[in-house]
Amino acid sequence: MNSSPMHPPLSHGRSTRVLILQPAENRTTPVVCTLEELNLDLPEKRRRSYEALSYVWGSPVGDKEITCNGGSLLVTENCLTALQYLRLKKGPRMLWIDAICINQKSIEERNQQVKLMGDIYKSARKVLIWLGQGNEVLEQTLRQFHRVG
C-alpha cells in the first residue's frame, strides 16, 4: 500500500479517517486540520461523532493548499471553499471528506474505502451537501424547496 505520513496505513479493515477541522474567526484564515482513525465496528456510543460531506470535486487535481497533520495538502477549490464555510468559530468540527480522509495516492486504500462508503455515510451523525458558494439562482431554487417541504 502506498502510505504517507499524512495517511498512515489504517489499522483495521473497517476503519476510515475523519478530519478534525480547526476553528477560525473568519473565512480568510488558513485551513488547518488533522486526521484521526475511526473504527466503524465500534458501537455508536463508543465511536466519535462526525458529519460526512458530499460535494462535487470539480477539478480532479487539487491546487489549493491547506495544512493537515502539520504538512501541506492540496485540495480542489470547491473543497477548500466548503472547509472555509463549514468550520466553526469556537471549536473543532469532525468531518469525513473522501478527498482528504482517503489516501488518494493508494489505489488499494481507495478500493477498500469505496466498499465502506455506504457504512461511512450511514454512521455519520449528519450528511452535509455542499452545492458551492451561493448565487441568486441557487438561492431561488432552495427557497422553492423550502416552500414545498
Average pLDDT over residues 51-71: 89
| Angle formed at CA 39 by CA 118 and CA 16, multiple of 5 degrees | 55
**What does the longest C-alpha to C-alpha distance in the chain come to?**
49
Cell 473497517 locates to 14
**pLDDT > 60? residue 125:** yes
**pLDDT > 90? residue 31:** yes
The pLDDT of residue 56 is: 81
Residue 109: burial class (beta carbons within 10 Å; 0-12, 13-18, 19+):
buried
Cell 462526525 locates to 50
Average pLDDT over residues 112-138: 87
Q: What is the DSSP letter of 90?
A: S
Q: Position 21: which residue type?
A: L
The pLDDT of residue 102 is: 96
Distance between CA atoms of residues 12 and 141, nearest Å? 42
At residue 124 the predicted structure's pLDDT band, cuts being 50, 70 and 90, is very high
**pLDDT > 60? residue 11:** yes
Average pLDDT over residues 63-86: 94
